[in-house]
Amino acid sequence: MKFERSDLLGIEDLTRDEIGAILEATDSFAEISERPIKKVPVLRGLTVVNLFFEPSTRTRTSFELAEKRLSADMVNIAASTSATVKGETLKDTARNIEAMSIDMLVVRHSASGAPRFLAEVLACPVVNAGDGAHEHPTQALLDMYTVRKKVGKLDGLHVGIVGDILHSRVARSNIWGFTKMGARVTVCGPATLIPPGIETLGAAVTTDLDGLIPELDILMLLRIQTERLSQCFFPSLREYAEIFGVDSARMARARKDVIVMHPGPLNRGVEITPDVADGPNSVILEQVKYGVAVRMAVLYLLSGGERTSEDTH
């Protein structure tokens, strides 16, 4: 199918077919990353700006590699080096960047809705690289791609997402994505970190991790940020690890072929112990690997997806 969108702001907006189309396209780009010369001229001559208002190593690097492998000219702008600290508004920052005739904007922002705000202001395609607690669509796409690669399907799987659901854009995008693709999603975490009405997004809710684990095909753990401690969401990291951390003892209750995922960066010893993170069920590094291919597919499809598509095959 043809991908008609000019922006990727969230998984909520996408249909099952559109998600399918991105995952299909990812296959060809995953192959490119296996070649000795990992570069195709798909976005040659186009300028992509990565505008990051929040620190990010993994996502920014992944987008950067995707852009380079597509032969785009790319520029990174980190909030600390941009004019925003001098009191320039987001709108002005965006307009200034666009005035330099850019072709695509990848944006990460701590405020939910900021990419949508930019998409309304700017004519060029906007890719959401994570906004507040709203969405992180490319993360969900790479998670779905990784699972499909491992299991061969998404339909009928049971996905458990464990941790700080309240503040997690990864959780929201994955709830939308996996449920649209026919999987079941259950979220699990401290009652303080489960947002009200999360079930209306299509997820079941539990605080009983030990009861949930044996039922899961996919166990996705989220990073616990230490600042949540000072905000009184739970009493201590030790107690969090005790109740919601996954170690080998908990893994013993899981199905043998359960897939363990984590969007990173890991807090080893808090939400996941090193032996589980590095163990046979973990696909954490494959998530990172496929992240580049998924982002190549997204950039390619948003750029129009036709003009040089023969180059990718």
Partner 1 sequence: MKILIKGGRVIDPSQDLDGAADLLLDGGAIAALGPDAAAAGTADTVIEARGLVVAPGLIDMHVHLREPGREDEETIASGTRAAVAGGFTAVASMPNTEPVTEGEEGVKFVVAKACDAALARVHPIAAVTAGLRGEMLAEIGAAAAAGAVGLSDDGSPIANSGLARRALEYARMLDRPVISHSEDPGLVGRGVMNEGRVSTRLGLRGIPNESEDVAVARDIALARLARARLHVAHISTARSLELVAEAKRLGAAVTCEATPHHFALTDEAVASYGTNTKMKPPLRAEPDVAALRHALRTGQVDAIASDHAPHSQEEKDQEFDVAPFGIIGLETSLGLALTELYHKQVITLVDLVRLMSTNPALILGLRSGTLRPGAPADVTIFDPGRDWTVDPAAFLSISRNTPFSGWQLKGKAVTVIVDGRILLRDGEITV
Q: Give 222: exposed, middle or buried? Use CB within 10 Å, 0-12, 13-18, 19+.
A: buried
- Yes or no: say if 287 and 263 are a contact pair by the CB < 8 Å rule: yes
Which of 36, 152, 197, 280 touches partner 1 by CB under 8 A?
Answer: 197
Which of 79, 111, 204, 243 touches partner 1 by CB under 8 A?
Answer: 111
Which of 107, 133, 219, 224 touches partner 1 by CB under 8 A?
Answer: 133
114 binds partner 1 (CB under 8 A): yes
The tokens for 94 are 């965006």
What is d(CA 177, CA 35) in angstroms, rounded to the nearest whole number? 29
164 binds partner 1 (CB under 8 A): no
Residue 152 gets the label, from left (phi > 0), alpha (psi -120 to 50) or beta, of left
Is the CB of 109 or the CB of 184 nearer to partner 1?
Answer: 109
Alpha carbon distances (Å) from 208 to 10, 39, 46, 66: 29, 47, 49, 39
Percent of residues in the chain assigned helix, strand, coil, to nearest 5: 45, 15, 40
198 binds partner 1 (CB under 8 A): yes
Query: Known catalytic residues?
Result: 58-59, 86, 108, 136
Query: Which stretch, 62-70, 103-111, 263-271, 303-311, contacts partner 1 (CB under 8 A)?
Result: 103-111
Size of the site for partner 1 (CB under 8 A): 25
What is d(CA 257, CA 271) in angstroms, rounded to the nearest whole number? 20
Shortest distance, position 170 Cβ to partner 1, whole Å: 11
Footprint of partner 1 on residues 134-153 (CB under 8 A)? 134-135
- Residue 73: helix, strand or coil by DSSP? strand
Length of the chain, please?
Answer: 313
- Residue 115: helix, strand or coil by DSSP? helix
79 binds partner 1 (CB under 8 A): no
204 binds partner 1 (CB under 8 A): no
Which of 5, 16, 39, 91 touches partner 1 by CB under 8 A?
Answer: 91
Footprint of partner 1 on residues 14-73 (CB under 8 A)? none
Shortest distance, position 208 Cβ to partner 1, whole Å: 21
Shortest distance, position 243 Cβ to partner 1, whole Å: 23
Shortest distance, position 137 Cβ to partner 1, whole Å: 12
117 binds partner 1 (CB under 8 A): yes
Query: Which stretch, 32-40, 125-133, 204-212, 281-289, contacts partner 1 (CB under 8 A)?
Result: 125-133
What is d(CA 305, CA 309) in angstroms, rounded to the nearest whole number? 6
Is the CB of 162 or the CB of 198 nearer to partner 1?
Answer: 198
Alpha carbon distances (Å) from 201 to 10, 36, 174, 280, 306: 13, 42, 10, 32, 34
228 binds partner 1 (CB under 8 A): no
Is the CB of 34 or the CB of 227 nearer to partner 1?
Answer: 227
Is the CB of 95 or the CB of 289 nearer to partner 1?
Answer: 95
201 binds partner 1 (CB under 8 A): yes
97 binds partner 1 (CB under 8 A): no
Q: Cβ neighbours of residue 246 under 8 Å, at least 6 residues apart? A: 162, 209, 213, 219, 221, 260, 271, 272, 273, 276
Alpha helices, DSSP H only, in the chain?
16-32, 58-69, 90-99, 114-121, 137-151, 169-180, 209-212, 227-230, 237-244, 248-251, 274-277, 284-302
Amino acid at 3: F
What is the contact surface with partner 1 in residues (CB under 8 A)?
A: 12, 89-91, 109-114, 116-117, 131-135, 169, 172, 195-198, 200-201
